Chain A
Amino acid sequence: MSAKPKNAFRVLIVDDQSSDIMNPYLLTSQLGFETTLAFDGEQALTESARTPFDLIILDWNMPRVPGWAFLRRLEMRPVPAGRKEIKNQNIVLYSGDDLSDLIFDDLLNLRVLDVWQKPLEPSDMLKRIKRIKAFVGG
């Protein structure tokens, strides 16, 4: 699902729980972002192959292809001509688990801009999204 304003900031939200997708979806849509939803890592891989996203909001704990597996497969995938390298992909990790012990160097050399602990208050999430948008530009 996505709206398609031209030159909009493109966001992919990946979460297997529709109740967790609602808040980031409502907020990014309200900001006029072009928001795409994926309900598992597999679907996220398909969407990210199709569209160069400015930001991926990624749930960590999903069945089938969890967040870390999605990132690994993203890293291993060849980069199409004209697209940015995977290491420049902007990521926000979103989880009900405490991710503070996660050592990102062990995973991948990706731009993890923020880690959100569920549940996040809507106004806090909105501030974080705006901050990321300002940082990333686009």
Chain B
Amino acid sequence: MQRKILNPEFLENWREVDPLRWRLIVAELLETFFRTIDESYRQMVIAREEGDWETIRTLAHSMKSSFGVIGAEEAHRLLQTIEILAAAKRYRRANVFMARFDLIFVETRALAIEFQRANAQAA
């Protein structure tokens, strides 16, 4: 199944729920996203350098939610996999997915910024 880096329909789905305020809700969700992910990613990089897999597992668990809630499907799926592999102590496999996550993180972040700008302009 082809997953999207950022599925705009997920956030735009709020239009069905609250046609008047949906852009404000989306703005709030994206704000929360940006407030948390940079620091979490930084901690994950440090944990990887130190071989601290319990921290990696915990961070993958919390970051997975942050990405999932804005429709970042690929990042969500990767973090879910990293969490499972870290818990199973399959570190070499987890490293493969973490390398992919490095790329996806950057791309997701850039797309989320674009979406945030477009949302603010349309509001």
Among A16, A17, A19, A96, the one with the most B-chain Cβ atoms within 10 Å of its Cβ is A19
Nearest CB of B to A82, in Å? 36
Restricting to A1-41, which residues have a CB under 8 Å from any CB of B? Answer: 16-20, 22-23, 26-27, 30
Contact assessment for A118 and B68 in the assembled complex, using a CB-CB cutoff below 8 Å: yes
Contact assessment for B36 and A122 in the assembled complex, using a CB-CB cutoff below 8 Å: no
Contacts of A118 on B, CB cut-off 8 Å? 65, 68
Contact assessment for B16 and A119 in the assembled complex, using a CB-CB cutoff below 8 Å: no
Binary contact readout B60-98 vs A (1 if CB under 8 angstroms, 0 otherwise): 011011101101000010001000000000000000000
Q: Is the interface of B mostly helix, strand, loop or mixed?
A: helix
Q: Is B120 among interface residues, defined by CB-CB distance under 8 A?
A: no
Nearest CB of B to A26, in Å? 6
Restricting to A34-64, which residues have a CB under 8 Å from any CB of B? Answer: 61, 63
Q: Is A126 among interface residues, defined by CB-CB distance under 8 A?
A: yes
Contact assessment for B13 and A122 in the assembled complex, using a CB-CB cutoff below 8 Å: yes
Contacts of A61 on B, CB cut-off 8 Å? 61
Contact assessment for B69 and A19 in the assembled complex, using a CB-CB cutoff below 8 Å: yes
Contact assessment for B13 and A96 in the assembled complex, using a CB-CB cutoff below 8 Å: no
Q: Is the interface of A mostly helix, strand, loop or mixed?
A: helix
Known: A19-B65, A20-B69, A96-B68. A122 touches B17 (CB 8 A): yes
Q: Is B41 among interface residues, defined by CB-CB distance under 8 A?
A: no
Contacts of B16 on A, CB cut-off 8 Å? 122-123, 126
A80 to B18, CA, bound (A): 39
B positions within 8 Å CB-CB of A? 10, 13-14, 16-18, 25, 28-29, 32-33, 36, 58, 61-62, 64-66, 68-69, 71, 76, 80
Which 4 pairs between the two chains have the least Cβ-Cβ distance?
A119-B68, A17-B65, A123-B16, A19-B66
Q: List 27 interface pairs A-B (beta carbons < 8 Å), by A numbering.
A: A17-B61, A17-B62, A17-B65, A17-B66, A18-B32, A19-B32, A19-B36, A19-B62, A19-B66, A19-B69, A20-B68, A22-B69, A23-B69, A30-B17, A61-B61, A63-B58, A96-B68, A96-B80, A119-B68, A119-B69, A119-B71, A122-B13, A122-B14, A122-B17, A123-B13, A123-B16, A126-B17
